[in-house]
Amino acid sequence: MFEDFREYSVAEFFKKNRHMLGFSGKIKSMTTIIHELVTNALDACEEAQILPDIRVEISQVDVDKYKVVVSDNGPGIPKELLGKVFGQLLAGTKFHKYKQQRGQQGIGAAGVAMYAKLTTGLPLHIISAHEGKLVSADITVDIQKNQPLITNLIEDEADFHGTIVEGVFGDVKVDKSEYSVLEYIKRTAIANPHASFELVINGEQYSFPRTSDKVPPPPKEVKPHPLGVLTYELIELAKRSTSKTLKRFFVETFERFSTAKVQELEKLVNVDLNKSPKELTWQEAEDLVKAIRSMQWMAPRKDVVYPIGEDQIKGSLEAILKPEIVITRTRDPKIYRGGIPYVVEVGIAYGGNFKGSIMRFANRVPLLFDSSACAITKAVKSIDWKRYGIKDFDNEPVLALVSLNSVFVPYVSAGKTAISQEEEIVQEIKNALMEAARKIKIHINKKIRSRELEKKKSALMRYVNYLSHDISYLSGYPPEPLKENLERIIKEKYSL
């Protein structure tokens, strides 16, 4: 019974459970490939403060088999890291940092390489031009060991910078549906107006020029917030710290931990805060965490979370839907799980040639799949839209766009396709939507009132002729001026 006990690599785990990475179904798998490569390109360009020019080329080579080339003008990837980026799952820089990025765990690109290997046996072909040096190589994942396999390495000089990723994939498909690559790029363009996209699918070209020349600021790394730290994490941070005393450790390691706060903490616990962090015991850490949670703390910094922006959301929805009205709302940044900063922004479009739908974004990346699992969907569906004048969300002309931005987005699975339905987050999204919905309600009521007034006005206007003649007969006054006056009075009274 216990004979075949052995350890498995994380690559083997995700090979068997590749649906958790988004590789489930042909359309979804193709969109997942594009998503992983495009988000890496956007993150890299933003770090290097480059306006991204991204090109995606997809061409069918056989039944359900496509060649994909994604190129960008980013900083490129250093030679020594190519293997880890494309050939190893869970290797990256993004893991321990609290910084708003699209990728957050070092799985994406290696997952793409693995999918190519599983479906065609072929490695990815990478060209990277970084700081004047060009490297070209074939890279794939040794799945059993979760290690990179690199072949055909060529080095040269480069007078440009950027990355080109080329692969051949099976069990994939591209079409023009709402789940496919064209829709994905369209929505990515909405959330990233500073980026330009060229998309070529089997020769058909789609251009999305940039509509802003402003590179978003490079995301700031944020230190952990005191309220969010678990006892175990406090000990780990203390062990790794180079601070001389616990007092210095707190100030240097955490956000909002001033020396005044240290003094306040000192009074609440029976721990010598002058000793080295490395001497911290579990019990002491537990007491410190308890004390920290009983203290008042400043709200998180506003400048570590980066929303799309209300103007951009409004402009995009107006351009796409041509609605009667768009209401946007950005909430103040909040924290969840005690200390992780995030910010929610929403846009509700109403009135026009579209029906009830939800558009989801996380860290300025569109979420197209697994909608039923998503915190955003749960929030939208849990609102009593009748109270805002919308009796039947699904069948009325309303679109709710929700964008969540955080230094760490809690996704449902490693494929980052849906946001985990954490209560605090669902509630915050609801609040944002309800605030916007109140203004939609005012608009709808105005519309209804305006329509009712119009009806009354029309009804009355039908009788103006008769009325003016009758009054004229009774009074002796001429009918025409009477009629004009009556019409004027009616119009005045029955308008908004």
Query: Is the CB of 357 or the CB of 421 nearer to its own copies?
Result: 421
Q: Give 255's strand partners.
A: none
C-alpha torsion 375→378→382→388, nearest 10: 80
Residue among 329, 360, 378, 441 that touches its own copies (CB under 8 A): 378
* Residue 81 near residue 201 (C-beta atoms within 8 A): no
Tell me how far, at minimum, the Cβ of 344 lies from its own copies, in Å.
18
CA angle (102 as vertex; 97, 105 as ends), nearest 5: 50
Going by the DSSP 8-state scheme, the letter that residue 280 receives in this structure is: -
List binders of its own copies among 316-375 (CB under 8 A).
Answer: 370, 372-373
- Binding part of the chain for its own copies, among 33-41, 74-82, 157-165, 304-312 by CB under 8 A, reads 74-82
Least Cα distance to 361 among 34, 33, 35, 17 occurs for: 35
List binders of its own copies among 96-155 (CB under 8 A).
Answer: 96-97, 105-106, 117-121
Tell me how far, at minimum, the Cβ of 93 lies from its own copies, in Å.
5
CA angle (251 as vertex; 248, 252 as ends), nearest 5: 80
- Encoded one letter per residue, x for contact with its own copies by CB under 8 A and - for no contact, window 76-95 reads -xx--x--x---x-xxxx-x
By CB under 8 A, tell whether 262 contacts its own copies.
Answer: no
Q: Give 340's strand partners.
A: 336
SS3 272: coil
By CB under 8 A, tell whether 13 contacts its own copies.
Answer: yes
How many residues form the binding site for its own copies (CB under 8 A)? 66
By CB under 8 A, tell whether 413 contacts its own copies.
Answer: yes
By CB under 8 A, tell whether 422 contacts its own copies.
Answer: yes
- Binding part of the chain for its own copies, among 154-162, 231-239, 294-302, 434-442 by CB under 8 A, reads 231-239
- Compute CA 329 distance to the chain's CA centroid, rounded to the nearest angstrom: 16
Residue among 407, 414, 429, 440 that touches its own copies (CB under 8 A): 414
By CB neighbour count within 10 A (0-12 exposed, 13-18 middle, 19+ buried), where does 455 fall?
Answer: exposed
Tell me how far, at minimum, the Cβ of 62 lies from its own copies, in Å.
10
By CB under 8 A, tell whether 411 contacts its own copies.
Answer: yes
Q: Which amino acid is at 163?
A: T
By CB under 8 A, tell whether 10 contacts its own copies.
Answer: yes
| Residue 223, CA atoms < 13 Å, CB-side half-sphere | 12
Distance CA 152, CA 183 (A): 35
Determine phi and psi for 206, rounding to 5 degrees: -130, 125
By CB under 8 A, tell whether 2 contacts its own copies.
Answer: yes
Residue among 58, 139, 398, 418 that touches its own copies (CB under 8 A): 418
Residue among 52, 111, 170, 341 that touches its own copies (CB under 8 A): 170
Distance CA 451, CA 443 (A): 12
- Binding part of the chain for its own copies, among 153-161, 209-217, 228-236, 256-264 by CB under 8 A, reads 228-236
Phi-psi region of 201 (alpha: psi -120 to 50; beta: other; left: phi over 0): beta
Q: How far apart are the first and last CA of the chain?
A: 80
- Compute CA 469 distance to the chain's CA centroid, rounded to the nearest angstrom: 66
By CB under 8 A, tell whether 391 contacts its own copies.
Answer: no
Strands 196-201 and 53-62: parallel
Tell me how far, at minimum, the Cβ of 7 lies from its own copies, in Å.
4
Tell me how far, at minimum, the Cβ of 493 lies from its own copies, in Å.
45
Tell me how far, at minimum, the Cβ of 372 lies from its own copies, in Å.
5
By CB under 8 A, tell whether 279 contacts its own copies.
Answer: no
By CB under 8 A, tell whether 181 contacts its own copies.
Answer: no
Distance CA 351, CA 349 (A): 7
Distance CA 219, CA 204 (A): 35
Query: Is the CB of 90 or the CB of 453 nearer to its own copies?
Result: 90
Tell me how far, at minimum, the Cβ of 297 lies from its own copies, in Å.
19
Tell me how far, at minimum, the Cβ of 378 lies from its own copies, in Å.
6
- Binding part of the chain for its own copies, among 179-187, 208-216, 279-287, 464-472 by CB under 8 A, reads 279-287
CA distances 44 to 52, 73, 102, 127, 428, Å, are: 9, 9, 10, 15, 30
Going by the DSSP 8-state scheme, the letter that residue 303 receives in this structure is: G
Residue among 145, 258, 263, 282 that touches its own copies (CB under 8 A): 282
Distance CA 233, CA 393 (A): 44
C-alpha torsion 365→368→370→373, nearest 10: 60
Tell me how far, at minimum, the Cβ of 439 lies from its own copies, in Å.
28
Tell me how far, at minimum, the Cβ of 485 lies from its own copies, in Å.
56
Token pair recorded at residue 177: 């549906």
By CB under 8 A, tell whether 477 contacts its own copies.
Answer: no
Task: Tell me how crowded residue 294 is: count the other CB atoms within 10 A of its CB.
Answer: 9
- Encoded one letter per residue, x for contact with its own copies by CB under 8 A and - for no contact, window 19-58 reads xx---xx---------------------xx----------
By CB under 8 A, tell whether 472 contacts its own copies.
Answer: no
Point out which residues bind its own copies (CB under 8 A): 1-10, 12-13, 16-17, 19-20, 24-25, 47-48, 75, 77-78, 81, 84, 88, 90-93, 95-97, 105-106, 117-121, 170-171, 230-233, 235, 282, 285-286, 370, 372-373, 377-378, 408, 410-414, 418, 420-423
